Amino acid sequence: MTRMAILLNVNGEEFPLDVEPHRTLLEVLREDLSLKGTKANCQEGECGACTVMVDGLAVNACLYLAVRADRKRIVTIEGLVGKDGLHPLQEAFVRHGGVQCGYCTPGFIVSAAALLQANPHPSEDELAQALVGNICRCTGYVAIRQAVRSVAGSQEAGS
Amino acid sequence: MIRFEFHEPASLEEVVALLDHYGEEAAVLAGGTALLIDMRHGERQPGHLISLWGTPQLAGLRWNGGLGIGALTTVRQMADELESVQPMRGLVEAARLLGGLQVQNVATVGGNLCKASPGADLAPPLLVLDATLRLRGPGGERTTPLEGFLTGPDRTDLRPAEVLTEIEVPELPPQTGTSFLKVMRRHAVDCSIVAVAACVSLAEDGETASQVRIALGAAAPAPFRAKRAEELLTGAILKPSLAREAARLARDEARPISDVRASAEYRQMLVEALVERAVLLAAERAKAAQERQ
Amino acid sequence: MRVVGRRLPRLDALAKVKGEYIYGMDFNLEGQLYGKVVRSTQPHARLLEVDAKEARAMRGVRAVLTGAELSGPLMPGVVWDQPLLAFDRVRYVGEPIAAVAAISPELADEAARRITVRYDPLPALFDPQISMQDGAPLLHESWASYKAEAGLVRQGNVCCHAALHHGDIERGFATADFVFEDSFSTESVHQSHVEPRVAIGAVCADGLVTVYSNTQLPYWARTNVAHAMSLPEGDVRIVLLGIGGAFGSKLYPQLEPLVALLARKAGRPVRMVTPLEEELAAGLPRLPSRVTLKTGVKKDGTLVARQARLILDTGAYAGSGPEIASVCILVLAGPYRTPHVQLDAYAVHTNKTNFGAFRGPGGPQANFALESHLDMVAERIGLDALEFRLRNIVEEGDQAANGQVLKGVGLRECLEKAAAAIEWGKPAGPNRGKGLACGWWTTTGGLSGSRARLDVGGKIVVTVGTQEIGTGAIMGGVPLVVAERMGVPLEDVRIVVADTATGPWDFGSQGSRTLFNVGRAALLACDELETRVKTLAEKILEAPADQLELRDGGVVVRASPEERVPLAKLAELDTRGELQGRGQSYPDPVAHDQARMTSCLYPAFHYPSFHCHAAEVEVDPGTGEVTVLRYAAAHDVGRAVNPNLVEGQIHGGVAQGIGMALMEEIVYQDGRVINNNWTDYKLPTMADVPDVQAIIVEHLSEAGPFGAKGLGESPVIEPPGALANAIARAAGVRITSLPITAERILMALKGESSAARPRR
């Protein structure tokens, strides 16, 4: 099985890797780069726990081949740091009770960060549209909406 | 075990050549969202993936009277670029309802059509826009209408080693409105139980429908145009009672199945309800287009 | 109070938002092998042969286990009827038959595929109403010889018949002005935690076993592993990994005994994850139910008599069925004054996965039926649904149907507030309707232990024996309780979740018990710690203990607080390691009238909570689609230790309830689950759940930490009833089966019967 040489740019750092083409970005992030913050389960793009940003767009890493991620700008939850060590979304999720078991949290925060980067002042509909691909079984989404709303429209939203 | 060789050729000719060379062993990688799932379920086991991403010229929208949608355009990109193009509203609505954003960011227009699910959400809106497909194969290029290209569940008229390169939408008459309605088992991110697209163009008098097209998804082995319903409405004034009658015709044209999502009977009821609404909505939008002029 | 009652952050929130929290899914051991379960493809069959020769010979396969070599064994439970691996018979599609361990997950999958199984199919039963009839084929031929809990009434395919009889039901119906009878049904729904089930087993040279697991019940896992391996429990250690959601699914040690046995055989650690398609097909989802309710009522709306016959499909093995049947009895009794009740619940076997405890087990099934039925009764006698309930609900000091005396009854307030929140009296618009449902639930008891010590730097370190499952009880509630009690800021509290070798015994994170019991145990540990702290402080402050007080991270003389010694200083001076305490919470069983009940393993609700949900919906008359416009849920939680956590439980429970009410269903066809993936088994998304209004009501419990009562489960109980009642008013049709899908509604509107769908 031929391995392919790729260069992954993850959270601003470059990683030259040799990967078999069938490996997904999710597997490579978690297993080869030990970045466990991006979570795994359904393997069919239904739960969104594996959401990462590729060139600013939220994607399901479980359905994204690692070889396709060559030379793209990948951002995971580990890369979402702000001025004081926390991204405003991370801080908001803590404050508003948007974290219970927390397994869906990295995926949600990355999806929300991608939204706010592109659209700092989303409408309620745009907010929902951006986040319906992330499933939470604990919070009922109420506190998550509150957390994202609190950041949207604030000065730091676009960072 | 999922194992394949990965090829990313830099030209369309090479894509075709590789598809030709590997034949049944090859699969095209566009968005990959459907392909990877099929591979995990053992439904497809290609030994060679031919990526289209080395030929990014296959992505993008091009206006030249009509609209050319590169097959590799992501669903998201297409929706964003057509957001303010009023006559394309139905197509944009379908794109925005195609899975969550994570899927829209990666799945492609061409991929959605070539996967040919009976519920392929982009098929009905493109059918009512009278889309044509541009294909490239070992024998050269050909064009074929989208209508008739989708032949059954997961089946298309794609010939061996052929690649879909572009979807062409002809120029629309000035007073045109489109709509797309979809019923799911929840309020977002689901396959259609039934989907309906409509396109209505009004004549110069602003009242008569000069052209009406209606397409149904998830209501037959492949998405299709409800021709008898269209005939009733073409050249007529679209009163609600007429729309209702057309909806009944469309219901009878549908051949839905019962599956884990819904029964055939329910799907027929939905066809009726949605066709009536989709037609009237498209007509309303056509009127609004006229008023804007 | 200083910290209790405030919306302070959870101790685990930071790690979770940064992606640093370690869940079971994130944990690996160096040199581990990967395990895979081989599962039955037949719903009911004799196992003729399990041929693992080819698998054993594969390069990279290090261990294979079959039921034959283990002779089962039959695992502990209320009824000891289920083998760890099937060895003579299989009773459901998905039942584990064998397990393999290999050097990669793909090899393990491949090896599992190469194990061939020969079956001799037997007639399969899929309908509990049929399997409970005389003459139905026995699913457990040796049922009578199984070890079972004392007092359990069981016969053949009925593994429990629980009953509560009080008063004289026939006289009740005779004295009623009206008698109404209605029937209801619910299907199975799956917990669908976003993190899978994971376990890693390791056996060291001296034979001691360690299993790392994201279990909710570490000590129950230990019991099962020890039993499977024929070891004393003390030779087994369960290490608690982070849990990414559980909802009752991770109560069951499905993987722990297998990874331990494989690890022993292979001589290397073995890791197993249950993939989603297996979890949805062969996990332990909610028990399906069929219930007929008959009510006798006076024309003024006074309830006189209630009779219920509830049949629960418990699947192939008893599991939690008997307990759940008993719980259902209490839910069917409801928080209503009813002099004559005759409630019978049956847990019956079928050839499907053995269903299990999903958050509030039995609750939504029974409550949906009762609350729908009562609405229908109210409508028939011309009474407003809210008014009807207010006339009949229990009040403080009343006896419940099982004879227990009710204290801390906040139900009236819940009803009034929930109804007001959706403007109950104001008519809903066209195609819209409002509905409500109320209920009661338990705060499970059981033993929890805790230790507290004053550590260097003045930190209060509290050790507990069970894991945070997401509710916040362990990482959000207990810390506040301790901080309040010890007079320290929240930042000075540390929670250590210990393993079963080093920690205090705990009945586990389940049954709405965690904050109540672990909190109580922690408080008792703090009591002892405080005594010892003051003993030391007495010497320094030269004042007797009864004049001293814990305040602001130190000990002060109450009358002159400038005389103070910081806790950090005391910790420094504690050269004999005396500044620690321990506590155990084991609530007394609730007094009730045993004579009224037979075969009820769960005869009373401890420190019950009371709740009412109110919903407003819109139904699209052309498609049947339901939109939940407004939703208010009032819960009497005793004391809201942290309102964020309380609201979070309510929001989340309502969302799961919306799922069960409108869209979730495990679909069977000839004994096979056909929708075991999240494409076909639909969970509510953000677009399906409105901004639920959580209304906190506080009627203190006598025994809970600062008066708290359990909350984790109750919010899933009322949504199906509240939504069914709202939909009935919005659409004008009454659907008595869950899920209330758009299809069912539209079919009912068009006067057609439930459509033909692939079923059972």
Residues C557 and C612 in one domain: no
Where in chain A is CATH 3.10.20.30?
4-79
The CATH number assigned to the domain with range A4-79 reads: 3.10.20.30
- Contact present, C326 and C345 (Cβ < 8 Å): yes
Q: What's the per-residue H, E or C state across B99-145?
A: CCHHHHCCCEHHHHHHHCCCCCCCHHHHHHCCCEEEEEECCEEEEEE
- Contact present, C462 and C749 (Cβ < 8 Å): no
Q: Both tokens of residue B129? A: 């826009």
Closest by Cβ to C194, choosing from A36, A38, A49: A49
Q: C169 in a domain, yes or no?
A: no
How far is Cα C10 from Cα C476, in angstroms, rounded to an integer?
4
Domain limits, chain B: 5-51, 56-169, 176-286
Average pLDDT over residues C429-448: 98
Written as one letter, the residue type at C280 is L
Given phi > 0 = left and psi -120 to 50 = alpha, else beta, which region is C55?
Answer: alpha
Residues C383 and C439 in one domain: yes
The count of C-alpha atoms lying within 13 angstroms of the C-alpha of C331, restricted to the half-sphere facing its C-beta, is 31
| Extended beta strands in C131-223, E state | 158-166, 178-186, 198-203, 209-213
Q: Both tokens of residue B49? A: 């993936």
Compare all CA atoms of chain A with the CA of B54 and give the residue at the minimum distance.
A68
Residues C549 and C627 in one domain: no
In the prediction, which pLDDT does A159 show?
A: 47
**H helix or E strand, kind and range, residue B290:** helix B264-292
- Which of C520, C555, C585 corresponds to the end of one domain? C585
The CATH number assigned to the domain with range B176-286 reads: 3.30.390.50
Q: Pick from B71, B124, B83, B77: which is nearest to B104 by CA?
A: B77
- Does pLDDT of A72 surpass 90? yes
Give B67-114 pLDDT, tens digit per residue.
999 999 999 999 999 999 999 999 999 999 999 999 999 999 999 999
- Does pLDDT of C328 surpass 50? yes
Give C543-571 pLDDT, tens digit per residue.
999 999 999 999 999 999 999 999 999 99
Using a CB-CB distance cutoff of 8 angstroms, which residues of chain B are in contact with residue A115?
101
Compare all CA atoms of chain C with the CA of B270 and give the residue at the minimum distance.
C623
Q: Both tokens of residue C314? A: 């418990």
Give B213-225 pLDDT, tens digit per residue.
999 999 999 999 9
Give the distance between the most distant pair of CA atoms in chain A: 50
Residues C575 and C611 in one domain: no
How far is Cα C723 from Cα C111, in angstroms, rounded to an integer?
48
Where in chain A is CATH 1.10.150.120?
88-158
Q: C391 in a domain, yes or no?
A: yes
**Confidence class for position C756, pLDDT limits 50, 70, 90:** very low
How far is Cα B125 from Cα B109, in angstroms, rounded to an integer?
12
Mutate to test the interface with A, among B39, B52, B101 (most CBs of A within 10 A): B101
Size of interface A-C (CB pairs under 8 A): 161
CA atoms B272, B276, B281, B282: torsion sign? positive
Neighbors of chain B by Cβ distance (3+ pairs < 8 Å): A, C
In the prediction, which pLDDT does B293 show?
A: 67
Query: pTM value?
Result: 0.97
For C658, the domain range is 289-444+592-749
Q: Which fold has domain B5-51?
A: 3.30.43
**Which burial class, exposed, middle or buried, applies to C576 when counting CB atoms under 10 A from its CB (0-12, 13-18, 19+)?**
exposed
In the prediction, which pLDDT does C420 show?
A: 98
Interchain CB distance below 8 Å, B186 and C741: no
Our count of domains for chain C comes to 2
Residues C601 and C686 in one domain: yes
Query: Residues 684-743, chain C: which have Cβ within 8 Å of A?
Result: 685-687, 689, 691-692
Q: C671 in a domain, yes or no?
A: yes
CATH class of B56-169: alpha beta
In sequence order, the 6+-apart residues with CB closer than 8 A to the CB of B148 are: B157
- Contact present, B123 and B150 (Cβ < 8 Å): yes
Mutate to test the interface with A, among C26, C34, C468, C686 (most CBs of A within 10 A): C686
Give C501-548 pLDDT, tens digit per residue.
999 999 999 999 999 999 999 999 999 999 999 999 999 999 999 999
- Does pLDDT of C42 surpass 80? yes
Residues C425 and C331 in one domain: yes
SS3 at position A128 = helix
In the prediction, which pLDDT does C757 show?
A: 40
Q: C164 in a domain, yes or no?
A: no
- Contact present, C255 and C34 (Cβ < 8 Å): no
Rounded to 5 degrees, what are φ and ψ at C526? -65, -35
Is residue C186 less than 8 Å (CB to CB) from chain A? Answer: no
Interchain CB distance below 8 Å, A59 and B40: no
- Contact present, A37 and A55 (Cβ < 8 Å): no
Rg (CA), chain A: 15
Q: What CATH number has the domain bearing residue C578?
A: 3.30.365.10
Average pLDDT, chain C: 97
Size of interface A-B (CB pairs under 8 A): 76
How far is Cα C68 from Cα C229, in angstroms, rounded to an integer?
15
- Contact present, A116 and A151 (Cβ < 8 Å): yes
- Does pLDDT of C752 surpass 90? no
Q: Pick from C301, C343, C292, C338: which is nearest to C177 by CA?
A: C301
Per-state percent for chain B, helix, strand, coil, to nearest 5: 40, 25, 35
Q: Both tokens of residue C78? A: 């209320």
Give B225-261 pLDDT, tens digit per residue.
999 999 999 999 999 999 999 999 999 999 999 999 9
ipTM for this model: 0.97
Interchain CB distance below 8 Å, A140 and C689: yes
Instruction: Report the DSSP beta bridge partners of residue B144.
Output: B133
Compare all CA atoms of chain A with the CA of C21 and give the residue at the minimum distance.
A37
In the prediction, which pLDDT does C755 show?
A: 42
Using a CB-CB distance cutoff of 8 angstroms, which residues of chain A are in contact with residue C245?
101, 103, 137-138
Give C109-168 pLDDT, tens digit per residue.
999 999 999 999 999 999 999 999 999 999 999 999 999 999 999 999 999 999 999 999
How far is Cα C492 from Cα A121, in angstroms, rounded to an integer?
38
**Confidence class for position C760, pLDDT limits 50, 70, 90:** very low
- Which of C555, C585, C615 corresponds to the end of one domain? C585
Integer distance in angstroms from the first to the last C-alpha of chain B? 59
The CATH number assigned to the domain with range A88-158 reads: 1.10.150.120
In the prediction, which pLDDT does B290 show?
A: 77
Q: Pick from B283, B288, B90, B276: which is nearest to B201 by CA?
A: B283
How far is Cα C321 from Cα C327, in angstroms, rounded to an integer?
10
How far is Cα C409 from Cα C394, in angstroms, rounded to an integer?
8
Written as one letter, the residue type at C505 is W
- Does pLDDT of C296 surpass 60? yes
Q: Both tokens of residue B115? A: 């996967």
- Contact present, B35 and B23 (Cβ < 8 Å): no
Measured N-to-C along each axis, helices A142-151 and A88-95 cross at an angle, to the nearest 10 degrees, of 140
Interchain CB distance below 8 Å, A109 and C17: yes
Give C7-24 pLDDT, tens digit per residue.
999 999 999 999 999 999
Average pLDDT over residues C662-676: 97
Using a CB-CB distance cutoff of 8 angstroms, which residues of chain C are in contact with residue B268?
none
Using a CB-CB distance cutoff of 8 angstroms, which residues of chain C are in contact with residue B185?
663, 682, 741-742
Say whether B56-169 and B5-51 share the same fold: no
Task: For residue C128, say if its preceding peptide bond is cis, omega within 30 degrees of 0.
Answer: no
SS3 at position B170 = coil
How far is Cα C23 from Cα C213, in angstroms, rounded to an integer?
9
In the prediction, which pLDDT does C759 show?
A: 34
